[in-house]
Each structure stands twice: as C-alpha cells, then as structure tokens.
Amino acid sequence: MLLPLLTLGVFLSAKPPADEKVFTPCPASAPEEWTAARERLLALDARLEALPDDGDGKLGVSALRELLMSRCFEMSREEPEPVPEDVPLLGLKTWWKEGGRSWVESYLELGKPGTRTVVLPPEARDVLTLETVKPDHRLAGMLCSSKDAACAKETEAWSGRMEASFLRELERKADKAEAKLEAEARKACVNDAKPRPKRWRYTAWRSCEGGTKSFEKVLPVVRLRAPTEGWLVLRGRRGHYSFCDEVRAYHLETGAAWVSQSCSRLSLYEDAERIGRVDVETTQANRRPQVTAGALSRELLRELTWVLLLGEEGISVERARPVTRTVPAGYAIEWRERPSGITTMAGMGGGSMWFHSGQTHLSWTWFPPAKGEPLTGEVTWPESADPAENHADELIVALEETFKPGCPSSPAPVDLLDFTRPAGVSAVDAPEGVDQEQDELLTALRDWKPPPGCSATGK
C-alpha cells in the first residue's frame, strides 16, 4: 500500500495538469479591483435589507450567487451551497445578518499580507411562519404571516432572551469536553494537509475545516404571536430525595394561580437485604398535602408559555454561527479543483447531552380560549442539556418567585385538569407509581375552601 501512496505523492507534486483550476483572492496589488468588489458587496447588502420579508427568496439567492461568482469572491466555491435555493427570503436575510455577510466579506481580506483568517459560514435556519407550514401544523393558529411585522412585535424581547440562552449553551460547550474535541479536529486538519504538495495544502486544510460540524441546536427563524389567554397547567414531581408531586394551573389573562401539591421525603430501607430501596409506606405516611391560590406575573407567564410552545420546534444545524480559523503559516491562499479531485479528511462532528439523578420531568398543557385544541409537551426539571428546556426551567423559577398568595381572580379550571396527565416518575423513586396521589391533588383543588372575604372556589 505504501508504494501507491508514494507514487500518488510524486504525481501530485509534478507540473499541474491542464484541467486543474485555481482560484485566488484579490491581491493587495489590485486596489481598484478590490474597491469594485467591495462596492458590489455593499450593494447586495443594501438590496437584501430593502427586500420585504415576504418577498421572493429566489431573487435574493440569485443576487448572492451572482456576487459569489465574481472575481474577488470566487474562492467562496470552497463552501458548497451555503444557502439552499429554496430558502425563504426571511431565512436568507437572517442568515446574512447572523454570519453570511461576514463570510462573504472575509474573501476581501484573504489577499492581504500577514496572518490570514477564513470564516466558516453558519447554516441557514428553517423559517417558521404562517406561509411556511402546512395548515395542520401544531402552531398554525398562533403563527404570524411574514407580511405582518407587527404580529410578533410583543415577542421580540422574548425571542432575544431565548436566543441568548442557546448562545450560552454553545459557550458552555466550548468551555468543556467539546473544546478538546474541536482542538483535536483542528490539529487533524493541519496534519492531513502537511503531506500534500504545497499547492494543494490550503485546499486540503480548508476542505477538512469545512467538513468539521458541531450539530448545534437552534430555533428556526420564527414569527409566533404572544399567547395572552387560556390556562397553562404544569404537572409532575419536583425534587428527588425531598420532593413534591404537583398540579399547577396559571391563567394567562389574569395571572391567577392555583397550586395543589403533596410533599414528602424518600424514606430508604437500611437493612442489608433492602438497603437503598424506597420504603413506600413510610414515604407515603410523611406526605403533606396543601392547596395554595394567588397570583403571579402575567408577563412572565405569557413568555413561559411562548417558550414552551416553541421548545419542540428546535432544530439541529451543522454550524449555528460563523467560525473563524487562522490559515496555517506558509500556505498559499489558493483553492484548487480538478475532475479527479483530491482526497481530504471529511472533518469531525458530534454533539453532547448530560443528565443526573436529581432530574425529573414536568408535563405542560396550554389550553387556549374558546375550546381551542390544547397543546402539550414535557420539560426536564430543574435543568436540562436542551437549551430550550433549560430556558423554560429558568423562566418557571423566575415566574414562581413572583407568586403572591391571596384570593385568585379566576376559579380553578378543574374540568380542564381532567384532560392533563403528569409525566412519569422513576420506578426506583415510586415503585407503586403516583396515580393515586395525582388524583388526590385534583380532589384537593375541588375541595378547596376560600378564606374569609374571598368568593373564588376550586369548583
């Protein structure tokens, strides 16, 4: 096997064949050419900004590809199809602002002397608007048209906070084991390029870097109106050794809050035969049920509901944001192609998840007004490796810190609660399940007696 590899190396080191194509950046010695390219970039930037969000995406993609085929940007062919041809214009404009423009602009810097860097562009995200989903989509009734910029105006701050939570997760990954894997992948790309003929080293290195994927979770580009009515119901167990089985009902219109909970602490056997197993009888005997009513922040409640509705819409992309890489010293900046190609590493990719024994699951149900179809899901509590779930957990904590006990402004939605179910509890912690306890939580709500001067009831 060694001989054929050596022969291939000699062949590639020889005079370039006639069918070998070479693409290079604009040299610093051609300022007029560079200036003209810069003006074309600025013109495209202005054109994309001026196009309406509901416009024809193909017009934008066509203008982008026309620019990329021009002299100073033709090295962009090293990144195959950065955006699909059928991307909605709103998705293209978002991609451009979030890293596409930085990627294109980077080709104007590659021809300058000194340390050179390349930018790997982000992947274009899916778009979630009324026009991009089927009529039976679970969120169709809440989605805004891309023509209606005011529809989701109220949720812009919520979207920003949710995007920030995803960014924090990316930064957390960069600080941990993923950073080691990335460093190994980058080193492997350099090592793969070293034995190549000099003229092919940049191509081999850039191909390898481009093949390195992180498969990060992001939200689609979304236009979802704020939920302002109905009930949000959270059910399940919070806590591990000390825990509460709960039903919580929150009214989005008034902020009314009802909490029915049964709290206890796991009692464990200590004899040699059953050590570590749950003493169900003692655990049940230690339960302390209670019902509390009052009010909490409507604004935070509506934001939490919006986040929960979007949580299941998260998507995995190969690269969520632009990545900058320094070109190894001594590499000639030239992208080469020929029909026979050149073998390079395909890069590396991966993702991560984590969990611990203190996590449980909470089920949630949003009952929209006018007997609309309820939407349901689950979140991992009290923290999660999923950035959408983790953001929801943080909002639950912030929301419930605003709770003030008192006379609720709306009666408990006991009829709706019959259509909800709690998330399962580990058979290790609850060997006999918690169905009976969950039924008792609903009964306690129905039997709740208001304090003097309060007319609200649980019935």
pLDDT at 143: 96
The residue to which tokens 């009290």 are assigned:
382
pLDDT at 248: 97
pLDDT at 10: 40
Distances (CA, A) of 60 to 39, 92, 216, 235: 17, 7, 26, 46
Stretch among 48-52, 128-132, 342-346 having the lowest mean pLDDT? 342-346
What are the tens digits of pLDDT across the range 373-415? Answer: 899 999 999 999 899 999 999 999 999 999 999 998 899 999 9
pLDDT at 1: 38
**∠ at Cα 31 (28, 33), nearest 5°?**
105
Tokens of 285: 């005997």
Write the single-letter amino acid at 280. Answer: V
pLDDT at 310: 95
315: CB partners within 8 A, 6+ apart: 125, 126, 217, 218, 219, 220
The Cα–Cα gap between 76 and 78 comes to 5
**∠ at Cα 115 (110, 116), nearest 5°?**
25
**∠ at Cα 390 (384, 392), nearest 5°?**
135
Identify the H or E element spanning 163: helix 156-174
If we measure between CA atoms, which residue out of 24, 77, 102 comes closest to residue 333? 24
Looking at the DSSP bridge assignments, the partners of residue 181 are none
pLDDT at 9: 43
- Three-class SS state of 257: strand
Exposure of 175 by Cβ count < 10 A (0-12 exposed, 13-18 middle, 19+ buried)? exposed
pLDDT at 275: 77
Angle between helices 156-174 and 177-193 (to 10 degrees): 70
Answer yes or no: are the C-beta atoms of 243 and 237 closer than 8 Å.
yes
State the average pLDDT for the chain: 87
The Cα–Cα gap between 418 and 107 comes to 61
Answer yes or no: are the C-beta atoms of 220 and 128 closer than 8 Å.
yes
- Three-class SS state of 331: coil
Neighbours of 109 (CB within 10 A): 16
128: CB partners within 8 A, 6+ apart: 139, 143, 220, 221, 222, 223, 224, 313
Distances (CA, A) of 147 to 59, 127, 151, 180, 227: 17, 13, 9, 44, 20
Rg (CA), the chain: 29
Regarding pTM above 0.75, the answer is yes
Answer yes or no: are the C-beta atoms of 170 and 321 closer than 8 Å.
yes
Write the single-letter amino acid at 27. Answer: P
The residue to which tokens 């990627």 are assigned:
103
Task: Kindly indicate the confidence band of residue 355, based on its pLDDT and cuts at 50, 70 and 90.
Answer: low
